[in-house]
Amino acid sequence: MSDTRPKVQPYTASTKDFGSGKASPRDFLERCLAKVDAREDDVLAFAATNFSAARAAADASSARWRDGCPLSPIDGMPVGVKDVIETADMPTGMGSPLYDGWCPGYDSASVHALREAGAVIVGKTVTTEFAASEPGPTRNPWDVARTPGGSSSGSAAGVAAGFFSAALGTQVIGSILRPSSYCGVIGYKPTFGSINRGGSHDYMSQSSQGVIAASLEDCWHCAWEISQRCGGDPGYGGIEGPSALPKSPGPKSVIVLETSGWAEATEEAKDNFQAVVEDLRRAGICIVTRKDNSDVDAAEVAVLDAMPVSRLINAWESRWPLNTYRDHDASKLSKAMLDRSYEAEAMSLDDYRKAIARRAEIRTKYAGLSAHGDCCITLAASAAAPEGLRSTGSALFAVTSSVLGAPSLSLPVMQESKLPLGLQVIGFDNRDAAAFAAAHAILSHMDAARAIRA
């Protein structure tokens, strides 16, 4: 394990400083860039940077705060952008030699919304190849011999290393929650469709764009301000909820899910999780499990299919563009991508129809749980970040909220062998604000429990 445990400076502390004039967005950016100077050679979070543009944006933001007219609560917030999301001023490489140096010339919907809100775009963050499984170079800031997780590798690692306060990520299987768990930061995958994916190369039917951040407050502000300016995907109403971080009502009942991940979770991870559950129970929250409730048991059985169903759906939905990439230059696709393209071509449209019908059944079973609890919790990953950089780790826990399309968060409240491990909070469709209120309450209870034990 690295000696340097990242000291993350949550942006929210600085917002007050911006308003009071104690510090400026430019000051804050320079502190971030100093961390980049100190650690980027080890962490390798960036695929591209544009620090001069970032400094100019921070200066403009500083002037707005000085004049008392910031554009939004995230005016001046340094943000990283996953490299499958298009930017006007930096290339978008998608972790693939096919797009090496590719400059679309325009901002994605979410990046444009960030700029409208005054956020400072620091750079593009490393993604696995096309946000799938082939890793990029990024290392985990907690231990550079370990994976940061994927596919939003650079976004999670960069937040953990303090390079920026928040970053855009995307998730179709586990690509926000898993790296957030491994890197000890907040990860948020909104309800499907809640952040406009225009100009983002994550087109699949479970894909969501989301936010990875140093604090829950940063995370909510960033996502909410984006959604207000570019909406959700066409046809979707964006993130529901107030502009301020939702803090109430906290959950009265929390449903504990095991999911298919339980079978591979380490004993330490399971013990850690059970300790969290006991803390919540002691805080007066009613805990509901499959043993107590037949609907929960039915949902547990249903979500056992999360990974195989998601893989089938993703394979068919990757048929294009992998077929046209392969036509262009098959030698520039990884073996994993080529294998997926062959898998896709072995499928028929009817196979796909069956898979999406099965997913709809799983979602129906899960939706029924809203009668029994305010949110669900489970692990965000089956263990802390594994050693090595050739695999981004298992997504068996994270895939559950992906297949459901439900809002979910990874909260950095546990440790395994002194490495971070996330608690996953899964909410219900379009009730992202309630999931954040539950997350806020859980974080508060955990802080209180730690204080009592300390």
**What does the binding site for a second copy look like in residue numbers (CB under 8 A)?**
88, 105-109, 112-113, 116, 196, 198-199, 203-205, 207, 227-228, 230-231, 234-235, 237-238, 316-317, 319-321, 323-325, 327-328, 348-349, 352-353, 356
Residue position matching structure tokens 């948020």: 188
Residue position matching structure tokens 């000085």: 66
The angle subtended at Cα 408 by Cα 246 and Cα 214, nearest 5°, is 65
Q: In Å, what is the CA distance from 277 to each residue of 288, 379, 408, 413?
A: 10, 11, 18, 12
User: Rounded to the nearest whole angstrom, what is the least distance from the CB of residue 59 to a second copy in the complex?
Assistant: 19
Q: Are 127 and 47 in contact (CB under 8 A)?
A: yes
User: Rounded to the nearest whole angstrom, what is the least distance from the CB of residue 329 to a second copy in the complex?
Assistant: 10
The span from the CA of 88 to the CA of 448, in Å, is 45
Identify whether 249 is preceded by a cis peptide bond (ω within 30 of 0). yes
- Residue closer to a second copy by CB (options 332, 372) is 332
The span from the CA of 135 to the CA of 129, in Å, is 7
User: Rounded to the nearest whole angstrom, what is the least distance from the CB of residue 430 to a second copy in the complex?
Assistant: 11
Largest CA distance in the chain: 62
User: Rounded to the nearest whole angstrom, what is the least distance from the CB of residue 234 to a second copy in the complex?
Assistant: 4
User: Rounded to the nearest whole angstrom, what is the least distance from the CB of residue 349 to a second copy in the complex?
Assistant: 5
- Residue closer to a second copy by CB (options 189, 445) is 189
User: Rounded to the nearest whole angstrom, what is the least distance from the CB of residue 418 to a second copy in the complex?
Assistant: 40
- Residue closer to a second copy by CB (options 116, 268) is 116
- Residue closer to a second copy by CB (options 138, 171) is 171
Alpha helices of 368-413 — where are they, by DSSP H? 399-404
- Residue closer to a second copy by CB (options 37, 350) is 350
Query: Alpha-carbon Rg of the chain, whole angstroms?
Result: 21
Token pair in block for residue 254: 């929390």
- Residue closer to a second copy by CB (options 113, 212) is 113
